[in-house]
Structure 1
């Protein structure tokens, strides 16, 4: 299954939006209440191609964006810290006159969406955090992210890009396609991406990360109905982190997917889509 066949059943466009002066790539599809999809560290909007059609067909306007310095979106010549990511996402909303949206944030995207929901509750309708990062500073995990990403970017061998993607999955043989590897390899070897890599990896440095962590106090300020989705075999975060987040966000719901790594929305797309659409409708199992 290719990216194009995943999206073949819906009308969509890939647009470039001026979001606060940053040329921002976005996959836009559908109409209705808006959903903003935010990817993880060194990721890109293609992380959500298995989710867009189901949400479009359910009557939502989907916006999967490349965050600052990621994918084909421009980035400032400065470290990409959480407040800067939040500012960029808000600028995207403002550029399209979106007053309020649902958010789906995976990994880094969940960290950003969580902070946005805490600081700007008026902009968030419902919040879905998919294997979200940013609640702990684990040196081993931080080093794994830095090392694997740098090797994939600095070495031309596409096998290192494949290894970086395979880290995310419980079953990489099924979920890491040649096409997905080629898309990421092309992004990783853009001169702009290579130059910006230190800025992009700044949250894997202890001082930066600790200052920007999503704290229990911040999570306690999240008022949007919140769904947390976690993979039981998440290589970048243990299950107790999910339970702690669930405890900190009042009224939140936690779903742990078995046989699943760091991309639940991709590895178990059908289950995720059904769960998420029920959540958006207000249903609860």
Structure 2
């Protein structure tokens, strides 16, 4: 079993879409209302291969490599939240999507929440998976920055493996060698190496503080919202999830036990059942 064999039987395509001049990689599958999947810092669309088959039975799925991530181009400037939001909106426009459901993990949740606050007309329902962006914790920021730089700037594939292990409560069951190879190849693209400072800019205190989701912004989110959190999330403690739950009107919080920073991957069957029920609510 490999990460791509999870898509066996699914009619999908990996396409490159021109978004404001940035060549943007997207995995597209299914028909119906659009669901846009957004990954975390230094991540890529393969974070959602365990979710696309179930979701594509009812929805048109769009899993993106966000700006400057994976195989998507990035501008020669720091990658800040407003820029990520513009890029996602540009993708919607390029694909003729007026409104979409959003599933955002970590950084992707931060971007999706900001998009929902500032552009409520473009969002149907919002699923925030271990979302970032509500706090600035220097210890966590340093862990992300240090581990990512080490994996990108050194050819030792074990450093990439360790970076992925950080995300999981049970790495042995959830970090395949193929996933390691996929991320290692991305991390060592010359364009990715060159832009690593831009990609990690939100792990710098000044940048992060300016772009944090404020209680006022979260209070403006009108889309029905589901927050999914791992009880052993290494990049955010449970009180952070409760504060977001309290700040986003009418939101619902689900905490997965024995789970790290990738609930959608570590507990894919449970996540898929939960999220599909949520997206299908009247």
Classify the TM-score, shorter chain: over 0.9
Deviation per residue, 1:154-200 (Å, 9 max, x gap): 11000000000000000000000000000000000000000000000
2:90 counterpart residue number: 91
The 2-side partners of 1:100 and 1:56 are apart by 17
Number of residue pairs the alignment of both structures matches: 282
Superposition deviation, residue 96 in structure 1: 0.6
1:12 counterpart residue number: 12
Q: Any unmatched runs of 5+ in structure 2?
A: none
The 1-side partners of 2:3 and 2:173 are apart by 14
Superposition deviation, residue 5 in structure 1: 1.1
Superposition deviation, residue 9 in structure 1: 1.8
1:220 counterpart residue number: 219
Deviation per residue, 1:68-100 (Å, 9 max, x gap): 100000000000000000000000000011000
The 2-side partners of 1:276 and 1:225 are apart by 12
1:26 counterpart residue number: 26
The 2-side partners of 1:265 and 1:160 are apart by 23
2:185 counterpart residue number: 186
The 2-side partners of 1:23 and 1:145 are apart by 26
Coordinate RMSD, CA, aligned:
0.6
The 1-side partners of 2:239 and 2:6 are apart by 33
With structure 2 as the length reference, what TM-score do the two structures score? 0.99
Q: Pairwise mapping of residues 127-142 of structure 1 onto structure 2 (< 5 A)? A: 127-142=126-141
2:247 counterpart residue number: 248
The 2-side partners of 1:153 and 1:232 are apart by 28
The 1-side partners of 2:2 and 2:27 are apart by 16
Deviation per residue, 1:25-46 (Å, 9 max, x gap): 0000000000000000000000
Q: Pairwise mapping of residues 38-187 of structure 1 onto structure 2 (< 5 A)? A: 38-57=38-57, 59-187=58-186
With structure 1 as the length reference, what TM-score do the two structures score? 0.98
The 2-side partners of 1:220 and 1:173 are apart by 39
